[in-house]
Amino acid sequence: MKIISGTAHPQLAADIAKVLGLPLCNAKVNTFPDGESFVQIEESIRGADVFVVQPTCPPTNHNLMELLVMVDAIRRASASRITAVMPFYGYARQDRKDKPRVPITSKLVANLLTAAGVDRVLTMDLHAAQIQGFFEIPVDHLYSVPVLIKHLKNTYVKDMKNLVVVSPDIGGVKNAKSYANILGTELAIVAKQRISATEVNAHAVIGNVKGKDVLMVDDMTESGGTLCAAAEVLKQHGAARIFAAVSHGVLNEKARTRLASSPIERLLTSDSVPMAYGDQVDTVSIAPLLAQAIANIHNNASVTHLFEV
């Protein structure tokens, strides 16, 4: 087994390798002055089972192209199998034609990965689970819920009877429902209208949150618009304390500014991307989860038990 890291999230790759008790494979991955990616594998990987750790987070296009170049280099070095470990799958939100003459880019990315030589994909909390069907190769789709739930119970909310799980939009109801079922709480929904890519208008709450502690859950946040707008509406409807949990904290500076002035006390997220940090942000490592999945894939064992809470 060989673990190779791209430049997208070297810390996560190092943590995974440490859990597995392996050194990272020696590989030179850098960028030429004109922006082109260059990769050279500096040790023999002939016949090896290779896992490439590279979330395609911002800068998305660069990290995606770097992953494709790495896979090509690994394939030409005669590896027996190549698994792309993508804790965060970029372009996942472009998964359907919701307007005339637009692409389905998440399908295009699946085609590119397969064409480059990827034999298997290991990913986590896809924006839409049906993206797995865009691939003609096996996809192992993990969930961060077991990792995040454990931290939530130990640190955030002690009294589950006073807790309500909230989906900040209609599309996240299924995800929120899974949290509510595990925690044994009620479910509420915030109705929103998207004005632009970074601006959201939240205007109604379906369910009772008055006097309750609220846990908003979503698959990802980037600008913080949806979460912060929903938090304001929940506060207007009498919510007591407000927390949030997201699988992927793809946070930019605008998100951190919004969080600082919002009613959200703490934001819990995984370290699937390197920008998951901030004064109000708590990050939980998914390295043990990914390491166990990698070990199971290498040993042809089941990954189903990794979903257990």
User: Does 152 share its domain with 237?
Assistant: yes
Q: Do 53 and 94 belong together in one domain?
A: yes
Does the structure show a pLDDT above 70 at 229? yes
Residues 210, 229 share a domain = yes
pLDDT at 153: 82
What pLDDT, on a 0 to 100 scale, did the predictor assign at position 98?
Answer: 87
| Domain of residue 210, CATH code | 3.40.50.2020
Within 10 angstroms of residue 281's Cβ, the number of other Cβ atoms is 19
Does one domain contain both 211 and 107?
Answer: no
Asked if pLDDT for residue 159 goes beyond 90, the answer is: no
* Residue for token pair 């618009």: 225
CA of 140: how far to CAs of 15, 81, 152, 221, in Å?
20, 15, 25, 23
3-state helix/strand/coil string of the chain? CEEEECCCCHHHHHHHHHHHCCCECCEEEEECCCCCEEEEECCCCCCCEEEEECCCCCCHHHHHHHHHHHHHHHHHCCCCEEEEEECCCCCCCCCCCCCCCCCCHHHHHHHHHHHHCCCEEEEECCCCHHHHHHCCCCEEEECCHHHHHHHHHHHHCCCHHHEEEEECCHHHHHHHHHHHHHHCCEEEEEEEEECCCCCEEEEEEECCCCCCEEEEEEEEECCCHHHHHHHHHHHHCCCCCEEEEEEEECCCHHHHHHHHCCCEEEEEEECCCCCCCCCCEEEECCHHHHHHHHHHHHCCCCCHHHHCC
Which of 163, 168, 156, 206 has its CA nearest to residue 181?
163
Residues 135, 18 within the same domain: yes
Are residue 106 and residue 23 in the same domain, yes or no? yes
Q: Does the pTM of the predicted model rise above 0.85?
A: yes
- Looking at every residue in the chain, the average pLDDT score rounds to 92
97-154 pLDDT, tens per residue? 989 999 999 999 999 999 999 999 999 999 988 999 999 999 999 999 989 998 888 8
Asked whether residue 42 carries a pLDDT value surpassing 90, the answer given is: yes
Each residue's pLDDT tens digit, 251-266: 999 999 999 999 999 9
- Average pLDDT rounded to a whole number, residues 196-218: 81
* Structural domain for 238, as ranges: 145-284
Do residues 192 and 203 lie in contact, with contact meaning Cβ atoms separated by under 8 Å?
A: yes
Whether the CB-CB separation of 42 and 28 falls below 8 Å is answered with: yes
Q: Residue type for 293, please? A: A
Do 269 and 217 lie in a common domain? Answer: yes
Label residue 5 exposed, middle or buried (CB < 10 Å: 0-12, 13-18, 19+).
Answer: buried
In this predicted structure, what is the pLDDT of residue 198? 59
Share of the chain above pLDDT 90, in %: 78
> Of 97, 177, 192, 210, which residue is the catalytic one?
192
Residues 172, 127, single domain; the answer is: no
Q: Is residue 97 among the annotated active site residues?
A: no
Asked if pLDDT for residue 197 goes beyond 70, the answer is no
Residues 262 and 180 in one domain: yes
Q: How far is CA 254 from CA 73, 221, 225, 278, in A?
A: 37, 11, 9, 12
Q: How many domains does the chain have?
A: 2
Residues 72, 112 within the same domain: yes
pLDDT of residue 172: 85
